[in-house]
Amino acid sequence: MNNELMFSKCLSPELDSRFKHLWCLVGNTPMLELQYSYKGKAGRIYVKCENYNLTGSIKDRMALYIMYKAYMNCQIQPDDVIIEATSGNTGISFSAIGKALGHQVKIIMPNWLSKERIDIIKSMGADIQLVSKEDGGFLGSIELSEKLAQQGGVFLPRQFENQFNAEAHELTTGREIGLQLASQGLVADAFVAGVGTGGTVMGVGRHLRSLNPHVKIHPLEPAESPTMSTGYKVGSHRIQGISDEFIPAIVKMDELDEIVSASDGDSIIMAQKLAKELGLAVGISSGANVIGAIKLKEQLGEEAVVVTLLCDDNKKYLSTDLVREQPVAAGYISTDLSFTGFKPIS
Ligand code: PMP
């Protein structure tokens, strides 16, 4: 991305160089071969470590790309306020990137997400407005952002419907995964990712499919809240960042293979194991993604190249169940698995 030779009358040379500098801190993340033993059988999956981005999550990629495209397409002015409804990581990404580009930022989010998310957003000087369940929760946050934008002087990234969200992952995350696997002579057979906006699964999926038309691209959802399977909000779950109450517009189910489900307790224990057995201190959705990948390995066999992501680090979850002992339930993947090591691939 840093070498893109394109110009726009709305992108000053000063801003253009700020974008280039930010791209040095976003993307180009490491990828690991994770080695494990599941039910006594050795296996390996490939994980992209998105906790290495500027603010510690995968969302930096789409926030930076959406901002860049907004300037390139003259959809934003330097003094516009960025307003976004988010379940947290996006708010942190737009706060950091918005501030680095000289914007005011206002984040609107449901009031039940972790306290760390709110504090991190505030620490970067962004305004934050919390919306209760009674006031509409997630959908209420989006409605409020649209209402505030009517007053003018506002840029709405609209991450749930903005095609540049998926395109960011097609051009960066997906491309990097393809190249990192190729460096080992590998091609992905399957990719799985939990769906928040769906930008990751759609974008990475499109790139991997361009490299292997037979690759399976699986969206993942919480077993306790199967919004994608049902099409509407159902239940509640503890995997912050995915399954936000509706199927986002950028998710095209006809481009995706079967939905994989992961229970939140199993995801928490898997994330705890990643930290305790390998020192990979990541968030709950990363645990869910690893469960999805192990399930696919069980279906596809020992030789299958199955890829997923570690979406963020664990620092935003230190006040949540991630750091509490979890009751074990029948059918959990995490209880029959132990990690044996990892190897970086480049
Ligand atoms: N995990 C976490 C922790 C997230 O914050 C998000 C984004 N909300 C996701 C997974 C899902 O990513 P995407 O929005 O690209 O579907």
CA 221 to chain centre: 13
CB 86 near ligand 1, within 6 Å = no
Tens-digit pLDDT profile for residues 293-305? 999 999 999 999 9
Which of 123, 132, 195, 130 lies closest to 160 in space, CA to CA? 195
Using the mean position of ligand 1's atoms as its centre, give its distance from the Cα of residue 240 in Å.
8
CB 266 near ligand 1, within 6 Å = no
CB 196 near ligand 1, within 6 Å = yes
Tens-digit pLDDT profile for residues 262-279? 999 999 999 999 999 999
CB 287 near ligand 1, within 6 Å = no
- State the pLDDT at residue 234: 79
Residue identifier of the C-alpha nearest atom 5 of ligand 1: 241
CB 289 near ligand 1, within 6 Å = no
Give the integer Cα–Cα distance in Å for 250 and 160: 6
Burial-class residue 185 by CB neighbours within 10 Å (0-12, 13-18, 19+).
exposed
Atom of ligand 1 nearest to the CA of 244: 8
**Spatial CB neighbours of 169, under 8 Å, sequence gap ≥ 6:** 61, 62, 199, 200, 202, 203, 204, 207
CB 222 near ligand 1, within 6 Å = no
Using the mean position of ligand 1's atoms as its centre, give its distance from the Cα of residue 32 in Å.
20
Residue identifier of the C-alpha nearest atom 11 of ligand 1: 196
- State the pLDDT at residue 3: 47
- State the pLDDT at residue 4: 52
3-state secondary structure at position 230:
helix
CB 197 near ligand 1, within 6 Å = yes
Using the mean position of ligand 1's atoms as its centre, give its distance from the Cα of residue 267 in Å.
14
- State the pLDDT at residue 2: 47
CB 243 near ligand 1, within 6 Å = no
Which of 295, 293, 274, 296 lies closest to 283 in space, CA to CA? 274
Question: Ligand 1, from 120, 247, 285, 316: best to mutate by most atoms within 8 Å of Cβ?
Answer: 285
Question: Ligand 1, from 61, 62, 200: best to mutate by most atoms within 8 Å of Cβ?
Answer: 200
Q: Which helix or strand (DSSP H or E) is residue 41 part of?
A: strand 41-49
CB 320 near ligand 1, within 6 Å = no
Q: What angle do CA 209, 212, 214 make, to 5 degrees?
A: 85
Give me the average pLDDT of each 10-residue run along the chain (346 residues).
65 94 98 98 98 98 98 96 91 97 96 89 96 91 94 96 97 98 98 97 98 98 92 85 88 97 98 98 98 98 98 95 96 97 94
- State the pLDDT at residue 114: 81
Joined together, the tokens standing for residue 139 give: 């959908």
